[in-house]
C-alpha cells in the first residue's frame, strides 16, 4: 500500500516538474502564456495583484482629472479631457477583464480595493489645484505610464500584453493633449507660464516615484523578471523617462525642480537627484493628501451604480430566457 502511495506521489511530482518545465520553456521561447495554460501559483498571484492594481489606478485616476472637466478653459479642451477620462475608464475595463482570465472576478477585486487590501497608484493621491495640473498630468503622469506600459506590451501573459497594446495607443494621445496644454500655458502670459511652472514643480517628483522603489528595494523584481512579467527594471524605466522628458521641459522653457539634474556624457544619460523615499512610502501607505477623499468617492460611485449593474443583470437574464424559449 505504502509502495503504491509512494509511486503515485512520485508520479505526481514528475508530472508537476514537467508542467513547470513546459511553462519555463514557453517563457524562454517568448511564447505567450494563455489563460488555459498551466502556470505556477505564484505567477498567477503576481499577475492578479499587478493587473488589478493597474486597473484600480486607471479607475481612481479618473478622479483628479474628472474634477476639471466642468472648468476646462475652452470647449476644445473640455472635449479632449472628457475623451481622456473616458479612455481611462476603458483601460480599467480591459484590465479587469484581463485579470478575470486568471480566475478571479471584478467583484472580488473591487471589494479588495474598497476594503484597503489592494492598492492603486499613489500618484492619484495628490490634488489637482489648477488647470495647469491637467497639462502636467497628461504630459508627465501619462508620459511615465507610457514608458512603463510600452515595456509591458511584451509581458509574458497574453491577455495582459494585448490589453497593453490598445492602452498604449490611447496613452500617447493623453500625453500629447497634456503637453499641448503645457505648450499653450508656457507660451502664454507671465501668470500662465508661472502656473505651468508651479504644476511642473509639484508633479515632477511624484512622477518619478511612479516607477516604484529602487531595484535593490523592490520585493517583486526578481521573480517578475525571471517570468518576463517585467522586462525592464524600475530604475531603467525611470532613467528612460527622465531622458525623454528633460528635453521636453527645455522646449517649454520650464525648469525641472532638481538641482542635481545634468547630462552625463560618460553614461549617455541624465543624472538626477535622489527621490524623497520617506514621502514615497508615506503616500504608498495611504498618507497622500487625497487618499481618503479618493476612496470615499470611489465607494460612493460603486454604490450609486449598483442599480445599473442589477438592471443589466436582469436584462441579460431576460434575453437568455427569451432566446432559450425561441
Ligand atoms: Fe490609462
Ligand atoms: Fe492615460
* Structure confidence at residue 220 (pLDDT): 64
**Quick one: which ligand is closest to 143's CA?**
2
Length of the chain: 326
> What is the Å distance from ligand 2's center to 88 Cα?
6
| pLDDT tens, N- to C-terminus, the chain (326 residues) | 555 556 666 766 767 788 999 999 999 999 999 999 999 999 999 999 999 999 999 999 999 999 999 999 999 999 999 999 999 999 999 999 999 999 999 999 999 999 999 999 999 999 999 999 999 999 999 999 999 999 899 999 999 999 999 999 999 999 999 999 999 999 999 999 999 999 999 999 999 999 999 988 776 667 888 889 888 889 999 999 999 999 999 999 999 999 999 999 999 999 999 999 999 999 888 887 899 999 999 999 999 999 999 999 999 999 999 998 87
The rounded distance, in Å, linking the Cα atoms of 124 and 75 is: 25
Contact 130, 195 (CB under 8 A): yes
Half-sphere exposure of 98 (CA within 13 A, CB side): 30
- Of the ligands numbered here, which is closest to the C-alpha atom of 89? 1
Helix extents (H) in 264-305: 277-282, 291-304
How many whole angstroms from 118 Cα to the centroid of ligand 1? 18
Indicate the burial class of 157 (C-beta count within 10 angstroms; 0-12, 13-18, 19 or more).
buried
Q: Can you tell me the distance from the alpha carbon of 219 to that of 285, in angstroms, rounded to the nearest whole number?
A: 15
pTM of the model: 0.90
- CA–CA separation, 102 vs 97, rounded Å? 9
H helix or E strand, kind and range, residue 262:
strand 262-264
pLDDT at 246 (0 to 100): 98
Q: How far is the CA of 55 from the centre of ligand 1 (A)?
A: 9
pLDDT of 4: 58
How remote is the CA of residue 209 from the centroid of ligand 2, in Å? 17
Amino acid at each position: 500500500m505504502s509502495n503504491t502511495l509512494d509511486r503515485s506521489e512520485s508520479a505526481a511530482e514528475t508530472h508537476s516538474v514537467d508542467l513547470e518545465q513546459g511553462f519555463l520553456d514557453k517563457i524562454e521561447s517568448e511564447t505567450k502564456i494563455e489563460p488555459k495554460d498551466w502556470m505556477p501559483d505564484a505567477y498567477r498571484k503576481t499577475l492578479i495583484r499587478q493587473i488589478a492594481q493597474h486597473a484600480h489606478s486607471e479607475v481612481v485616476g479618473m478622479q483628479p482629472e474628472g474634477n476639471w472637466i466642468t472648468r476646462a478653459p475652452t470647449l476644445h479642451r473640455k472635449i479632449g479631457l472628457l475623451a481622456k477620462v473616458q479612455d481611462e475608464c476603458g483601460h480599467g475595463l480591459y484590465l479587469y477583464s484581463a485579470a478575470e482570465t486568471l480566475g478571479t472576478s471584478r467583484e472580488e477585486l473591487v471589494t479588495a480595493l474598497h476594503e484597503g487590501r489592494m492598492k492603486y497608484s499613489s500618484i492619484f493621491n495628490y490634488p489637482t489645484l489648477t488647470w495647469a495640473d491637467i497639462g502636467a498630468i497628461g504630459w508627465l503622469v501619462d508620459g511615465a505610464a507610457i514608458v512603463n506600459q510600452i515595456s509591458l506590451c511584451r509581458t509574458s501573459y497574453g491577455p495582459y500584453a494585448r490589453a497593453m497594446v490598445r492602452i498604449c495607443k490611447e496613452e500617447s494621445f493623453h500625453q500629447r493633449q497634456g503637453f499641448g496644454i503645457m505648450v499653450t500655458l508656457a507660451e502664454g502670459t507671465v501668470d500662465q507660464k508661472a502656473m505651468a511652472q508651479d504644476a511642473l514643480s509639484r508633479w515632477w517628483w511624484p512622477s518619478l516615484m511612479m516607477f516604484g522603489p529602487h531595484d535593490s528595494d523592490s520585493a517583486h523584481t526578481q521573480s517578475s523578471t525571471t517570468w518576463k512579467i517585467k522586462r525592464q527594471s524600475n530604475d531603467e524605466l525611470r532613467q528612460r523617462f527622465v531622458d525623454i522628458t528633460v528635453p521636453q521641459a527645455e522646449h517649454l522653457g520650464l525648469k525641472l525642480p532638481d538641482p542635481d539634474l545634468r547630462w552625463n556624457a560618460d553614461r549617455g544619460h541624465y543624472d538626477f537627484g535622489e527621490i524623497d523615499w520617506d514621502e514615497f512610502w508615506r503616500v504608498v501607505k495611504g498618507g497622500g493628501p487625497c487618499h481618503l477623499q479618493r476612496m470615499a468617492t470611489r465607494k460612493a460611485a460603486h454604490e450609486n451604480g449598483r442599480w445599473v449593474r442589477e438592471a443589466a443583470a436582469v436584462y441579460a437574464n431576460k434575453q437568455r430566457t427569451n432566446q432559450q424559449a425561441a
